[in-house]
Structure 1
Amino acid sequence: MNQTVDVAVIGAGPSGAVVSALLRRHGYRVCVLEKQHFPRFVIGESLLPHCMEMLEEAGMARAVAATPGFQYKNGAAFTWGERYTCFEFTDKFTPGPGTTFQVQRAVFDKVLIDEAAKQGVDVRFGHGVTAFDHSGEQARLTVQPETGEAYTLQAAFVLDASGYGRVLPCLLDLETPSSLPPRQAVFTHIDDHIVGNEFDRNKILISTHPKLRDVWFWLIPFSNGRASIGVVGEPARLQREGLVGDEAVLKQFVSEVPMLARILTNAVWDNGVPFRSLSNYSANVKALHGRHFALLGNAAEFLDPVFSSGVTIALHSAKLAAALLHRQLSGEVVDWQSEFAVPLMVGVNAFRTYVSGWYDGSFQDVIYSCSEQVNPDIRRMISAILAGYSWDESNPFVTKSTRRLQALAEICGAATPTAV
């Protein structure tokens, strides 16, 4: 077992798999350390088209497309009361792929890391990182395997792709409270048996509660007849007298959404998949990089699942980091703040605008009141962001996101009806 590598990657999720493959393609010795074993259950199942660019660059897109059970996806649909609207991602402002997949993450993540291993990446499952020393000329990781004694792994650079595990933020005291309120997600997989023809399996369906506009639902269909379903809201919103346990909460709230109640009337909930919940998932850090390290994806910041931005941010951060680290390891002097942190936050902050606008109602006003009537060019700009292209600085709804959303919401807000 090699104890000295060029790059150590903590975490074998999407960002870890992609960044390790990209670096391996440049000939570097890359080791991925993953505390868990794959496959393992995780949410974040609806990809955005921008993801396909990074997967293609990492040599993984073909394997993803060939995996059974992944559902072709070409857009996003929204419902509130009896209102329904949708965005086609092929009709967008930014060039690039307009379609992607909705995936079972346990399978998807394993496909990606297996592809990285095929490309020569050293992947070590069951190896957790317990300490990090970056004071010397190289970084030193203390690694504890499930069996056997701890060992030290030296690397010129370490990329933390540990997701919710947030290994380096915890070890280096980098965590800081998120600016977003604490929220809870309750979710499971169902055998959907969807009835009627009002539901498009090629799109994620995002539903707003008829009365509680800050409570929303996802329905993500897979091609094998199953679907991921969840409800998201502040914990106090999801607490009701008589509702005990995640199953009771999710079933009750879903029954209150007209479209979900109609199309899921034949759904089978008792299929062996447990009901789960995740609380206080939004996170932030004091810095995205430091001496001998950088943070990728959810290890750095996670906003909210509402627009499926998590995997997209993770993969975009992997692409940025791999390109910059290649230059650094080739002898160039690079600036991680101006060439990694600042560009990454362009897209993160754009997503943040629309996440915040979703919960304060302003973006919902745009979607439910006049998204069909707005200027087609503006609609394509919004579609591009929903498709994951939030780093396209030629799109004014990226670079001037707050001002543009506010202006559009003021126009649309006056026309917003009450859901029924």
Structure 2
Amino acid sequence: MQYTDILIIGAGPSGSSAAALLRQKGYAVTIIEKQYFPRFTIGESLLPQSMVFLEEAGLLDCIKNHVDEYAFQFKNGAAFLKGQQRSFYDFTEKFSDGPGTTWQVRRAHFDHLLAKQAEQYGAEVRFGHEVIAVDVESKHPILTVKNEHAEQYQIQAKFLLDASGFGRILPKFLDLESPSNFPVRRAVFTHIEDGILDDPDFDREKILITVHEKDPRAWYWLIPFADGRASFGVVAEQNFFDHYQIDDTSPETLQATFARILADDPALSHVLRNKKFDTPVRTLVGYSANVKHLAGQNYALLGNAGEFLDPVFSSGVTIALKSSSLAVPLIERVIQGASVDWMKEYEQPLRKGIKVFRAYVESWYEGEFQDVVFSKNQNDKIRRMIASLLAGYAWDDQNPIHKNAKQRLSTLAEYCREGQSQTVVVGIK
């Protein structure tokens, strides 16, 4: 049996940031990571709120120092496109305090930088090691792990963190899975040479979210990097893809489907008229997930291992980093023998912000938030409040449209459609 203070499953952003925070407190940390880094993953458009958590974990400088090397793109907002309609939000002009800019990153490099920095802080990262059994019945949890040579060993810790993302190790082993209540959606995505040169209507410093002209339930992301390349994807329910007779048996057939979907959107096709598909196209189905609870007496779930909503507002990395920031002080108390109310001190605070993101995601697919985004009737105060939420400040309860977000978005959409002042909606004088 091997021993450590804290075991972490997964070396992505939540696992690496938790490891960095725990090493600052002097604890021995071991990360079990099934894959080898760098590895491809999506979720490339960071939100400014995440800069706060990266700095707290001592991980911000390692990103800043590699911005040019890895063509991380400076980001200051979000742009929206639907046919001839265009809109944008500048995150530097927001309601909440905190950073207003960030980067759009290739996650292969971004995640690898975080993991390497965690290692430099003294965490042990075991790449190519796979968790094959979990025991959380005793006071100190035990993992059974298979290494790259197919050899098995057991390792015990004072506390266990699941940062496995879509791997969702503890939810699967401990039967924690719970319905997300979101429709099953598919994402088809790749990296492209975008070919966008001197287009006055395109801003590389913003993610571009495009509503499909023929079906507003479908949308595209275009996340530019600083070297003329971009992450490009389309998201919709399965029946949308059925219309195109999607064939996901190979990257080539997926690319052909993707090209047909893009061709049905003249506005975005014009933006990407010089694009080149040069990277295998991938797909992910049914990615939204939830769990019965986020923590037990000797374990906690971080980031996507607990709940993943939808890629539309790029909330994944921010939620992951927030979860680490909330969990680590509580873990220290557990190790020191103090009692922790994980529901009150971890799950409820974390889900408070996730609930706000969820309201915006639901409102987007229902069309109400799309009406708000493309409305010409927003006053400056409303724009700043929306910019804050789009920038990731979902835990800022001083934002007037944070409370009862779902209801207030619905009312705001109604006023936008009617062309009336939104000031009365949120009680701003």
- Please indicate, yes or no, whether the TM-score normalized by the shorter chain is above 0.5: yes
Partner secondary structure for residue 243 of structure 2 = coil
Residue by residue over 1:356-393, the C-alpha shift from the partner in whole angstroms, topping out at 9 and shown as x without a partner, is 000000100100123xx323222111110000000111
In 2, the alpha carbon distance for the partners of 1:406 and 1:148 equals 54
Say whether the 8 Å CA contact 2:378–2:416 is kept in structure 1.
Answer: no
Residue by residue over 1:152-186, the C-alpha shift from the partner in whole angstroms, topping out at 9 and shown as x without a partner, is 11101100000000000000010112110000000
| CA-CA distance at 1:14 after TM superposition | 0.5
* Worse-matched range after superposition: 403-412 or 381-390: 403-412
In 1, the alpha carbon distance for the partners of 2:130 and 2:400 equals 43
CA separation of 1:359 and 1:415: change in aligned 2, threshold 3 A: farther
Match of 1:402 in 2: 406
Q: How many aligned positions are there?
A: 411
Alignment of structure 1 residues 281-320 onto 2, 5 Å: 281-320=287-326
Partner secondary structure for residue 37 of structure 1 = coil
Say whether the 8 Å CA contact 1:82–1:258 is kept in structure 2.
Answer: no
In 2, the alpha carbon distance for the partners of 1:252 and 1:397 equals 39
| CA-CA distance at 1:239 after TM superposition | 2.1
Say whether the 8 Å CA contact 2:184–2:288 is kept in structure 1.
Answer: yes
| CA-CA distance at 1:137 after TM superposition | 2.2
| CA-CA distance at 1:257 after TM superposition | 2.4
Match of 1:250 in 2: 258
Match of 2:267 in 1: 259
TM-score (norm 1): 0.95
Partner secondary structure for residue 74 of structure 2 = strand
Match of 2:382 in 1: 378
The one-letter code of the counterpart of 1:325 is I
Partner secondary structure for residue 233 of structure 2 = strand
Match of 2:61 in 1: 62
| CA-CA distance at 1:255 after TM superposition | 2.2
The one-letter code of the counterpart of 2:99 is P
Partner secondary structure for residue 159 of structure 1 = strand
Match of 1:212 in 2: 215
Q: Is residue 2:201 matched to residue 1:202?
A: no
Say whether the 8 Å CA contact 1:207–1:217 is kept in structure 2.
Answer: yes
The one-letter code of the counterpart of 2:211 is T
| CA-CA distance at 1:241 after TM superposition | 5.0
Say whether the 8 Å CA contact 2:244–2:261 is kept in structure 1.
Answer: no
The one-letter code of the counterpart of 1:25 is Q
Q: Is residue 2:3 matched to residue 1:7?
A: no
In 2, the alpha carbon distance for the partners of 1:355 and 1:241 equals 25
| CA-CA distance at 1:330 after TM superposition | 3.0
In 2, the alpha carbon distance for the partners of 1:111 and 1:260 equals 33
Partner secondary structure for residue 409 of structure 2 = helix
Gaps of at least 5 residues in structure 2 are 248-252, 421-429
CA separation of 1:243 and 1:23: change in aligned 2, threshold 3 A: closer
Partner secondary structure for residue 113 of structure 1 = helix
Q: Is residue 2:160 matched to residue 1:158?
A: yes
| CA-CA distance at 1:415 after TM superposition | 5.6
In 2, the alpha carbon distance for the partners of 1:392 and 1:290 equals 27
Residue by residue over 1:37-94, the C-alpha shift from the partner in whole angstroms, topping out at 9 and shown as x without a partner, is 1111110010000111111111111111222210000000001111101000011111
In 1, the alpha carbon distance for the partners of 2:407 and 2:246 equals 41
In 1, the alpha carbon distance for the partners of 2:263 and 2:357 equals 29
Match of 1:355 in 2: 361
In 1, the alpha carbon distance for the partners of 2:221 and 2:395 equals 24
Residue by residue over 1:128-152, the C-alpha shift from the partner in whole angstroms, topping out at 9 and shown as x without a partner, is 1111111222111111112152111
TM-score (norm 2): 0.93
Match of 2:180 in 1: 178
In 2, the alpha carbon distance for the partners of 1:173 and 1:147 equals 29
In 1, the alpha carbon distance for the partners of 2:80 and 2:5 equals 46
CA separation of 1:258 and 1:252: change in aligned 2, threshold 3 A: same
Say whether the 8 Å CA contact 1:14–1:315 is kept in structure 2.
Answer: yes
Match of 2:423 in 1: none
Gaps of at least 5 residues in structure 1 are none
In 2, the alpha carbon distance for the partners of 1:264 and 1:356 equals 28
| CA-CA distance at 1:266 after TM superposition | 1.1
* Worse-matched range after superposition: 199-208 or 188-197: 188-197
Match of 2:103 in 1: 101
* Worse-matched range after superposition: 21-30 or 60-69: 60-69
In 2, the alpha carbon distance for the partners of 1:37 and 1:243 equals 31
Q: Is residue 2:9 matched to residue 1:43?
A: no
The one-letter code of the counterpart of 1:314 is A
Partner secondary structure for residue 97 of structure 1 = coil
| CA-CA distance at 1:400 after TM superposition | 1.9
